[in-house]
């Protein structure tokens, strides 16, 4: 799936021999890659944009540094890039997936990692693409990693990802109410998700800081 190499990215973005900051380079290369996702699968592209925004506000609440936040933003945008290589008919199938179809969908984690490792400048985002479906309790995929063996970025993107599925709904799952989402997050705190990351999300949600999402009223929890 190689579409860029170090020479042509330098030729495009380093016209006067002046080095651009890493974040600008990454952002430009990511934009190029994401245009392919936008063309192939608009739903996944829009999902990735929301996940990136949610990850960013969670990262801010956790006190990440500006450079870490910029990397988290791009990791959120690129986390599902492996879906470019998955048949759209399977991704949008409105019924329960067959076993082999589920395996194909799950493989987007490894495909995403492989793809990002092949694009100069985006290698650092490959690990989140691979690990964003790991779970805090070790029951996730593809590696069954648990708690802090999963990077903080992947733990944040995992929660942002699930939050978007719950708030938007999917062909295979209905949109949930804020009350149900808050209760689901609390129930999965320390199981599916890192407890600290759940706490950070609930905090920014209560404060009304999540883009496009109404503030969580404290009365809907518990
Ligand atoms: Fe995913
Ligand atoms: Fe996702």
pLDDT in tens, 152-187: 999 999 999 999 999 998 877 788 999 999 999 999
The active-site residue out of 40, 53, 83, 95 is: 83
Provide CB contacts within 8 A for 207, sequence distance 6+: 215
Residues forming a β-bridge with 191: none
> Which SS3 state, helix, strand or coil, does residue 199 take?
helix
Which ligand is nearest the CA of 111, by number?
1
For residue 208 the two structure tokens come to: 């009304």
Indicate the CATH number of 6-220 among 3.30.360.10, 1.10.3210.10, 2.60.40.1180, 1.20.1630.10. 1.10.3210.10
| pLDDT at residue 3 is higher than 70 | no
> Which SS3 state, helix, strand or coil, does residue 189 take?
strand
**Choice among 2-16, 27-41, 85-99, 121-135 with the minimum mean pLDDT:** 2-16
Å from CA of 16 to ligand 2 middle: 38
For residue 13, the 8-state DSSP code is: H
| 3-state DSSP of 164-177 | HHHHHCECCECCCC
Q: Where are the domains of the chain?
A: 6-220
Determine the Cα–Cα distance for residues 20 and 12; give it in Å rounded to an integer. Answer: 11
Average pLDDT for the chain: 89
- Specify the pLDDT at position 5: 41
* b/e burial code for range 3-36 (CB count within 10 A of at least 16 → b): ebeeeebbeeeeeeeeeeeeeebbbebbebbbee
| pLDDT at residue 211 is higher than 50 | yes
Band the pLDDT of 21: cuts 50, 70, 90. low
Band the pLDDT of 1: cuts 50, 70, 90. very low
């Amino acid at each position: 799936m190689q579409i860029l190499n170090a020479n042509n990215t330098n030729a495009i973005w380093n016209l006067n021999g002046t080095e651009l900051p890493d974040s600008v380079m990454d952002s430009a290369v990511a934009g190029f890659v994401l245009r392919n996702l936008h063309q192939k699968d608009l739903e996944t592209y829009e999902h990735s944009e929301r996940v990136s925004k949610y990850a960013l506000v969670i990262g801010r609440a956790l006190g990440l540094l500006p450079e870490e936040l910029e990397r988290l933003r791009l990791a959120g945008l690129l986390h599902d890039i492996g879906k470019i290589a998955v048949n759209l008919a399977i991704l949008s199938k409105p019924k329960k997936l067959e076993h082999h179809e589920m395996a194909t969908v799950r493989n987007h984690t490894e495909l995403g990692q492989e793809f990002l490792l092949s694009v100069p400048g985006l290698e650092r985002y490959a690990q989140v693409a691979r690990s964003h479906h790991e779970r805090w309790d070790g029951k996730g995929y593809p590696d069954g990693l648990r708690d802090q063996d999963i990077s903080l970025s992947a733990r944040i993107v995992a929660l942002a990802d699930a939050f978007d599925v719950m708030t938007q709904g999917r062909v295979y799952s209905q949109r949930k109410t804020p009350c149900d989402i808050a209760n689901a997050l609390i129930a999965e705190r320390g199981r599916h998700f890192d407890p600290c990351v759940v706490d950070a999300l609930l905090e920014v949600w209560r404060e009304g800081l999540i883009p496009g999402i109404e503030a969580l009223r404290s009365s809907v929890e518990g």
